[in-house]
Amino acid sequence: MASCDILISGTGGFAARIAFDIAATAEDPVEVVIAGRNRERLNWLRTAANARAALFGKNARFRTHAIDLLEPDASDALLAATDPQIVVQAASIQTSQVIAQSGNAWTRLVAEGGLSATAVFQALISSRVAAAITRSGKPVTLVNCSFPDVVNGIITALGHDVACGMGNVAILSNVFAGSAATPPGAEVKVLAHYQNLAAWRRPPEERGGQAPRVWLDGTEVEDVYGHFADIQLTPEPVIEISGASGVPMLLAMAAGRSWRGHVPGPNGLPGGYPVRLAGRALELELPIGLSQADAIAWNAAFEERNGLVVSPGGWISFTGILGARLGEHVASLRKGFAVGELEAVCDELLQLRAALMRDA
């Protein structure tokens, strides 16, 4: 068994962005394993990542491990084979491209009811990896990249640890930091839920709804949409920012250095927050005057209005428009389900997704 510093599970665009940016920015030596079932894709990711590390003169080395993460006991086998310090779980049975797709009843349901329609799919592999880490008894840090604002709460309700996710709030914090409206060197702190992203995909004159909360050098911005009118996101997943956003944190974790930034789902909390890293533990680093309870309540309110809510007792409920639409198709989901039923509900929703995707 050859150990590694970072294990990336998944071979899609998000995983590639993480690997390629590690290759271009790692100052301390770091060993990375990329795992997935597509051997041709794995070979390319390994080749390209090692080439980028050589090109930029960085201390990252990449190797691969071929495995089908949906096979029984795959997560346990993967951990045993790679012995990672940090697991970056970026594999999912639901592509993030669904936000930019149309043409069938499933994409219409997601567009109308929200991305939490996909939360159970996003949680499947991540919850299995988290359970395998728990069974291993080793101090492995889990970074879940699959819909972390919501899925990380499911993982913790199942009794497992998860450090955080990547993207979402970190997309916004970094585009605000890079905005022409932000003075160079200003401290930027953002409180944001993934649902805050949609407005920034529209033209400035069409933006509305609840904005993220933003502080510049400790002062809260009153008109966030007006102040950052120069910001424009693409309709597609903004992997160029989201996939890159967690790389400085991952490298700090691997090297045992401190770090400050923004992450979604820290320690299973809903939504995204400013945080600080000490060792491999993340703590909220909120603006002065904002309590932890108020910050959590602000983020939780989004899914309470429309989405997926995980109760302290582990009961999962679909709310708002999403709850109504899913209930029309699967009556049992009107009352929700216990978190321990996740895999059975996933099978049921997979059947619904297949049926709706056939319906133009």
Residues 32-74 pLDDT 10s: 999 999 999 999 999 999 999 999 999 999 999 999 999 999 9
pLDDT digits (tens, 9 = 90+) for 304-335: 999 999 998 999 999 999 999 999 999 999 99
User: 216 with 188: CB under 8 angstroms?
Assistant: yes
Tallying the residues shown for the chain, one arrives at: 360
- From the list 247, 49, 30, the residue with the least C-alpha distance to 143 is 247
| Predicted pLDDT of residue 97 | 53
| Predicted pLDDT of residue 221 | 98
The more confident residue out of 237 and 223 is 223
Biggest distance spanned by C-alpha atoms of the chain: 57
pLDDT digits (tens, 9 = 90+) for 167-206: 999 999 999 999 999 999 999 999 999 999 999 999 999 9
Q: Beta partners for 281? A: 278
What CA–CA distance (Å, rounded) separates 328 from 187? 47
- Neighbour-count burial for 222-259, b at 16+ CB within 10 Å, e otherwise: eebbebbbebebeeebbbebbbbbbbbbbbbbbeeeeb
Does the pLDDT at position 98 exceed 60? Answer: no
The pair phi, psi for residue 75, each rounded to 5°, is -65, -40
Residue 279, burial from CB neighbour count under 10 angstroms (0-12, 13-18, 19+): exposed
What CA–CA distance (Å, rounded) separates 93 from 75? 15
What CA–CA distance (Å, rounded) separates 62 from 47? 8
Give the tokens for residue 5: 């510093």
Does the pLDDT at position 231 exceed 90? Answer: yes
pLDDT digits (tens, 9 = 90+) for 132-166: 999 999 999 999 999 999 999 999 999 999 999 99
What CA–CA distance (Å, rounded) separates 267 from 156? 8
| Predicted pLDDT of residue 102 | 66
DSSP conformational letter for 197:
G
| Predicted pLDDT of residue 237 | 87
Alpha-carbon Rg for the chain, nearest whole angstrom, is 20
| Predicted pLDDT of residue 206 | 96
Q: Beta partners for 274? A: 262
| Predicted pLDDT of residue 101 | 63
User: 52 with 24: CB under 8 angstroms?
Assistant: yes
What CA–CA distance (Å, rounded) separates 35 from 15? 10
User: 18 with 7: CB under 8 angstroms?
Assistant: no
Q: Beta partners for 331? A: none
| Predicted pLDDT of residue 96 | 58
Fold that domain 1-165+253-273+288-360 belongs to in CATH: Rossmann fold (3.40.50)
Question: 280 pLDDT band (50/70/90 cuts)?
Answer: confident
Distance from the first to the final alpha carbon of the chain: 49
Provide, rounded to the nearest whole percent, the portion of the chain with pLDDT above 70.
97
For residue 359, the surrounding DSSP H or E stretch is none
Give the tokens for residue 343: 């895999």
Q: At what angle do helices 119-136 and 148-157 cross, to 10 degrees?
A: 50
Residue where the block lists tokens 């309700």: 157
User: 140 with 133: CB under 8 angstroms?
Assistant: yes
| Predicted pLDDT of residue 359 | 78
User: 261 with 274: CB under 8 angstroms?
Assistant: yes
Does the pLDDT at position 100 exceed 80? Answer: no
Q: What is the mean pLDDT of the chain?
A: 95
